[in-house]
């Protein structure tokens, strides 16, 4: 791409962003969770998830030295890093986001097969020529992918991240003011963000955006690592201190990870995401095209984050934590053929089973799970955010 500050052409290595394939599999599984559409999963979705799992197992390489599988030569969502300093080839090793999501896909592949009718499962395995030996490799890779941690337990963005130099953020802010596009600034100086612990949007925090804290812990522990939830606030702060927010998506992700520990700051970042195109916060990029990802992300923030909406265990889960500026949320949800109306405040959630193709709707709010009948309404009291566990993400 052309750096507008320097007029120089900079190599584009975004073809190494293999993690995009995991996003496709993630969306397929989310759709299935929301709809319960076994036919879709059987004849379309399962093929996608299984082929992505096959891809990850094929690129992972086993190292007998640590008895771990490694995925090398990739680029994570954070586009500030595409190579190691002074390396003669692009790519990074064991990007945390890439490896965790690869492990997630390999785990979901097994769950996908279990969700299919037995005859269709056998038929699909035959069609795709997936053998028992290949399935065994998927399980092996999915339980031994490598992650790297700093000495204090913070999950490292990629192998060697903690050995990069620290940037003098105050000096760059004083010199340039707006440093959202820190990569262009460094490139114009003849430098590169590859030398520093800086992020456009922190890869590790993206994991908290996609996965609940229990699910992330389950995957990391399945990989054979000890994961202490108490390290989450430290991890969040570590990457917040080193992020330039060069992407409109960064505001969404950081609003998310702060939602239950710093609601005021979370709301400020949420408003920033809302205004990204209205105010053209990146100084001219809106004219090139709207930031649809940030727009969708703000809707997702209200639903999955502030409402605490999650689909698991064949139930719709709600765990609201509304910022002070958001007094209430009203949404109508279509879940597995059921239409549910949800009204949430900071003290209570009211769920109404409006109508549906089934007689009952299974809903969970906090630790309480109920089955609603068509036309039934239920009010749940919710704990105030101030009493919530501080490490909840």
Q: Contact at 8 Å (CB) between 336 and 358?
A: yes
Beta-carbon neighbour count of residue 378 at 10 Å?
15
Closest CA to 307 of 335, 337, 338: 335
- 279: exposed, middle or buried (Cβ count in 10 Å: 0-12, 13-18, 19+): exposed
Looking only at the bridges linking them, the beta strands covering 368-373 and 360-365 are antiparallel
Strands (E), the chain: 61-63, 68-70, 310-312, 315-318, 328-335, 338-345, 348-356, 360-365, 368-373, 377-381
368 DSSP β-pair partners: 365
Q: Which residues are catalytic?
A: 79
Helix, strand, coil abundance in the chain, percent, nearest 5: 45, 15, 40
380 DSSP β-pair partners: 349
Q: Contact at 8 Å (CB) between 254 and 205?
A: yes
Closest CA to 244 of 309, 137, 167: 167
CA-angle at 229, arms to 193 and 268, nearest 5°: 60
Distance from C-alpha of 140 to C-alpha of 130, rounded to nearest angstrom: 15
Distance from C-alpha of 153 to C-alpha of 14, rounded to nearest angstrom: 29
**Residues 6 or more apart whose Cβ sits within 8 Å of residue 74:** 16, 17, 18, 19, 91, 92, 93, 95, 98
What would the two tokens of residue 280 be?
A: 């053209």
Distance from C-alpha of 209 to C-alpha of 21, rounded to nearest angstrom: 17
Closest CA to 257 of 391, 156, 393: 393
**Residues 6 or more apart whose Cβ sits within 8 Å of residue 274:** 298
């Amino acid at each position: 791409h052309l750096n507008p500050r320097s007029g120089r052409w900079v190599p584009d290595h975004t073809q190494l962003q293999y993690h995009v394939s995991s996003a496709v599999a993630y969306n397929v599984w989310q759709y299935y969770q929301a709809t319960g559409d076994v036919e879709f999963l059987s004849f379309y979705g399962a093929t996608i998830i299984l082929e992505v799992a096959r891809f990850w197992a094929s690129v992972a390489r086993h190292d007998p030295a640590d008895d771990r599988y490694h995925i090398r030569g990739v680029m994570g969502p954070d586009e500030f890093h595409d190579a190691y300093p002074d390396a003669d080839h692009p790519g990074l090793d064991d990007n945390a986001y890439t490896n965790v999501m690869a492990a997630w896909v390999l785990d979901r592949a097994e769950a996908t097969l279990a969700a299919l009718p037995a005859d269709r499962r056998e038929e699909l395995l035959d069609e795709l020529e997936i053998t028992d030996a290949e399935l065994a490799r998927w399980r092996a890779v999915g339980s031994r992918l490598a992650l790297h941690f700093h000495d204090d337990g913070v999950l490292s963005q990629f192998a060697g991240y903690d050995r990069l130099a620290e940037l003098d953020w105050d000096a760059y802010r004083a010199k340039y003011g707006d440093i959202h596009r820190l990569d262009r600034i460094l490139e114009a100086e003849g430098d590169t963000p590859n030398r520093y612990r800086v992020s456009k949007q922190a890869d590790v925090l993206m994991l908290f955006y996609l996965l609940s804290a229990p699910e992330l812990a389950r995957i990391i522990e399945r990989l054979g690592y000890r994961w202490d939830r108490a390290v989450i606030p430290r991890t969040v702060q570590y990457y917040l201190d080193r992020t330039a927010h060069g992407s409109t998506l960064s505001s969404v992700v950081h609003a998310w990870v702060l939602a239950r520990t710093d609601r005021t700051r979370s709301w400020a970042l949420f408003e920033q995401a809302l205004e990204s195109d209205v105010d053209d916060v990146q100084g001219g990029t809106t004219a090139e095209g709207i930031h649809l990802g940030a727009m969708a992300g703000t809707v997702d923030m209200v639903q999955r984050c502030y409402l605490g909406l999650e689909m698991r265990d064949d139930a719709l889960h709600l765990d609201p934590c509304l910022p002070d500026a958001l007094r209430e949320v009203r949404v109508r949800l279509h879940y597995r053929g059921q239409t549910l109306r949800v009204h949430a405040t900071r003290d209570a959630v009211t769920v109404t089973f409006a109508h549906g193709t089934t007689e009952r709707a299974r809903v969970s709010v906090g630790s309480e799970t109920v089955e609603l009948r068509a036309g039934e309404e239920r009010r749940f009291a919710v704990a105030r955010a101030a009493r919530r566990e501080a490490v909840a993400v």
